[in-house]
Structure 1
Amino acid sequence: MALLYKSDPVRGQHWQALFAEHAPDIAWRAWPDIGNPEDIEYLAAWQAPDNLIQLLPNLKVLFALSAGVDQLDLSSLPSGLPVVRLLDPGITQGMCEYASWAVLSLHRDMLRYRQQQLSRDWQAHMLQPAANRRVGVMGLGTQAQRILATLGSMGFALSGWARSAHQITGVDCYAGDAQLPAFLSQCDILLCVLPLTEQTQGILNRHVFAHLPRGAALINMGRGRHLVEDDLLDALGSGQLSGAILDVLQEEPAPADHPFWDHPQIVLTPHIAAMTQPATAFGVLLENIRRHQRGERMVGEVDRNRGY
């Protein structure tokens, strides 16, 4: 029995050492040196290789080395092959840290102060109490709920929206298309952590921006394809939005002539809000392998119909 790893080779060395120490019964293979393909029962990968089942005829589980699976073409995978997301607590911690930094940066007007520094303009602006700043989160899964708890400890007024109904202490929750305008109307800072599906692709668009209070700001920590980039530029140009912090783009890395690079109201980061860390993710992956071996349901199994 073997596990095939197909992702960053540097982090792969850390994964390999952990398996050697804690799970020596599971043979380690690193792409593209797969050895005897019939030995491989588990694949841990960011993206699956082409002709997956022809290549790995005895594959039993595909473990995505990410919290989301939109980078995988689920329709091309065998319907009976379980696909499991990696619910790494390190990813959740990283997302909370990034969300806190981004919300605080917008709340404390750091985009304006950055421009003032460049123009050597020493000018203070009125400070808004956190309780008066309304932060809305799109997506109410496990990571979003942890983000909301972190922001709640800072005193922000919180709301959340998802496709399905949720109840979260201290958060005004909205659900479905009918309640989306009401949710947006009271978001001074809108933060997106939605999974990317056919229903959510392009959801950050001119119609959504129009429902936000004038001067609101955007944080996108979901996926680049959530955002209609030209609509964001229009909203910033008209003053409907005052700023944006983006960790993801339609095309990554952004081409040199992308208008976001030099935009004074946009902060770009290169998809670094959170990264899978072998030290925190290994236990989650190994426990799911053991669950599969015992015939138990694995944590993070993807619902093909929902896409997450």
Structure 2
Amino acid sequence: MGIVIISPNRSTDVWESEIRKIDPNIDIQVFPNIERYEDVSVALLWNHPTGLLSKFPNLKLICSMGAGVDHILADDTISDNLPITRIVDPKLTFSMSNFVIMGVLNYHRQWPRYQKQQVEQKWDMSQPEIPIHIGVLGVGELGGDLIRKLQALDLKVAGYGNSVKEGLSYPYYHGGQLQDFLDQINVIVCLLPLTPDTEKFLNKDFFLKCKKGTYLINVARGKHLVEADLIDALDQGQLSGALLDVFLEEPLPQQHPFWRHDKIQVTPHIASVTNPKAAVPQIVNNYHNILNQQPLTNQIDRARGY
């Protein structure tokens, strides 16, 4: 039995190489050049074609090639009995926190303003800092690490999540306390998992609940955001700006209004990128675990969606 790698329009060479370094005996097939569907026991996926997995009669495990699994759960043809695992990598957390801190500090110290003023040769020392109180939506592994690092910078921060959490070192809100959370903050960082409850979470009603002039950073998933509602909130002054790393369609189409909006900064989904060298040992370990009927590592809770 072997592994199939399904990641359309992306090179998988490094993934194949790393798997063979650890276990050269594993049979590897790569989409779309699959000849022996019956020989596959583990599928390694990123944005696979919906329904494709039904062709593998002996599939026992699905592994995401990243920390997110929403691209897998979106395929309702996948059996509920198939376990799903994700990648947990300290480097993913490290990179994500650094990216968000960069965005927070650039807003706090008005870096886009000074870049513009340099072009204009304008010397303006007025109001060099915007007072900020940061709110993090989603306080799991990524959100928790970010909050700790923001606290180390002596920045005011609060968290919001779906469930009750106790013993935290920062103000935390959950469930129906969203308005109380938003009343405290003027910088929002979205790190929510993507589930049916959080899809389109960042919408018109949400933005109207925010303090006027709030700044948005979305590094979670494009589907969290209603893009037209964001543009309206920016144009109406309800939000002051946005840093976006994730989008409904990627790559972002050339004619998309985000490219040209003067209050939006765009980055190409690079806040945190999976490192195959760190990810592949987890995948190979779970490949052997599933064949030997041993417990899996980093298995998701399908009911919760992460």
Q: Normalized against structure 1, the TM-score is what?
A: 0.91
Contact 1:224 1:249 in 2 (8 A): yes
Contact 1:88 1:280 in 2 (8 A): yes
How much has 1:163 moved relative to structure 2? 1.0
How much has 1:91 moved relative to structure 2? 2.1
Q: Map 1:202-281 onto structure 2 (within 5 A).
A: 202-281=200-279
How much has 1:33 moved relative to structure 2? 2.4
Deviations 1:112-131 (CA, angstroms, capped at 9, x unpaired): 223323433221243449xx
| Change over 3 Å in CA distance of 1:118–1:202 after alignment to 2 | farther
Counterpart of 2:279 in 1: which secondary structure? Answer: helix
Contact 1:217 1:243 in 2 (8 A): yes
CA distance in 2, matches of 1:251, 1:69: 17
Identity of aligned residues (%): 35
Q: How many residues were matched structurally?
A: 305
Q: Map 1:1-308 onto structure 2 (within 5 A).
A: 1-7=1-7, 12-72=12-72, 73-128=74-129, 133-167=132-166, 169-176=168-175, 178-308=176-306
How much has 1:11 moved relative to structure 2? 5.1
Deviations 1:39-89 (CA, angstroms, capped at 9, x unpaired): 111110103345445421111101111211222324210121112222233
The amino acid across from 1:159 in the alignment is A
The amino acid across from 1:194 in the alignment is L
Unaligned runs of 5+ in 1: none
How much has 1:10 moved relative to structure 2? 6.7
How much has 1:159 moved relative to structure 2? 0.7
CA distance in 1, matches of 2:53, 2:212: 52
The amino acid across from 2:256 in the alignment is H
The amino acid across from 1:152 in the alignment is Q
Larger CA deviation: 233-242 vs 288-297: 288-297
Q: Normalized against structure 2, the TM-score is what?
A: 0.91
Contact 1:89 1:280 in 2 (8 A): no
CA distance in 2, matches of 1:230, 1:9: 28
Contact 1:158 1:170 in 2 (8 A): no
CA distance in 2, matches of 1:203, 1:75: 22
How much has 1:110 moved relative to structure 2? 1.5
